[in-house]
Structure 1
Amino acid sequence: MTGRTELATVGTVHDEGSWLFTATDANGNDEEVILVPCADGVEAWVNRCTHEAQRLDRGFGAAIRDGQVICPKHGSMFDACSGYCDNGEAADTTLVPVDVAVEGGTVYLADRSYTFRREGGLDAGDGDDEGDGGPSSTSHIGF
């Protein structure tokens, strides 16, 4: 399959709840991207809340409930299939999409604006143990 990088299987994303990888964008910047289960397969979003650029998946899976990806800082909920948020601090915004394709149960990176780097987040395997990169939560939401 030319021009696309194999990422994961649809089954893996559905079983694990989300799947995190790092890609380089067209400007040479590394970005975290999450694959999330959707009724029709999977969708991919830049791993960043639209409100305060908080990581949705902090390296141990995105919090997802009832088809909604939940921001761990303020609790804004984004539809996993459309990326749209209709509540909380991020209301009326949409997550940044990353194009993927599903073929034969396998998910491929199809967005020509991104180049796959590795499975996992920006800090995966860099040997730096300073902090977990997560937000300092101001909410009382527990997951």
Structure 2
Amino acid sequence: MTNRHRLTSVETVEDDGAWLFTVRDQHDMNQEVILVPCEDGVTAWVNNCTHEPQRLYRDDIGVVMRDGGIVCPKHGSIFDACSGDCGNGPAAETTLLSVGITVEDGSVYLTDDAVDFLWEGGNSSDDDDDSGPSSTTHLTF
């Protein structure tokens, strides 16, 4: 579906802690994707917890990272930023859905043939509620 598309710089992802963009998948559905820094460079994940439909990147706080992991703001499950694997909480034993990227000369490119780049940022219909998820924990960020 896609040809190589420059998304942003590695420096921007590292400085901001994450970078959000939207793609159209092979089922003609819009999907939010997050770029996050990890010890291996930069990785791209579908912006959704594997436990239930919950955005990991929120406009009000971005992505919460702890000890090299992406924290789900609803239940506190932590996904390894490099592998996408989760070892705790309700999402334990699951892995985030990856999106193919390439890093070259300090730039991040979308190279996943299963998606088409649409725009920087999230789905406008999802941006209406940045009050955050209802939570069953007492996590604060």
Alignment of 1:106-125 (within 5 A): 106-123=107-124
8 Å CA contact 1:54–1:134 kept in 2: the answer is no
Question: Partners in 2 of 1:90 and 1:37 — Cα distance?
Answer: 21
Question: Partners in 2 of 1:105 and 1:66 — Cα distance?
Answer: 24
Report the Cα offset of residue 66 of structure 1. 1.2
Q: CA RMSD in A?
A: 1.7
Counterpart AA for 1:43: T
Alignment partner of 2:23: what SS? strand
8 Å CA contact 1:55–1:134 kept in 2: the answer is no
Counterpart AA for 1:25: D
Question: Partners in 1 of 2:133 and 2:19 — Cα distance?
Answer: 19
Report the Cα offset of residue 36 of structure 1. 0.4
Deviations 1:22-75 (A, max 9, x none): 110011100000000011210000000000120000224110111100000000
Report the Cα offset of residue 132 of structure 1. 2.2
Question: Partners in 2 of 1:33 and 1:103 — Cα distance?
Answer: 19
Alignment of 1:104-143 (within 5 A): 104-123=105-124, 130-132=128-130, 134-143=132-141
Unaligned residue ranges in structure 2 (runs of 5+): none
Counterpart AA for 1:138: T
Alignment of 1:11-90 (within 5 A): 11-59=11-59, 60-90=61-91
8 Å CA contact 1:9–1:106 kept in 2: the answer is yes
Deviations 1:97-141 (A, max 9, x none): 001000101000010111111111101xx7x97422742222110
Question: Partners in 2 of 1:130 and 1:10 — Cα distance?
Answer: 28
Counterpart AA for 2:92: A
Question: Partners in 2 of 1:20 and 1:96 — Cα distance?
Answer: 15
**What TM-score results when the alignment is normalised by the length of structure 2?**
0.93
Among the aligned pairs, what percent are the same residue? 58
**What TM-score results when the alignment is normalised by the length of structure 1?**
0.91
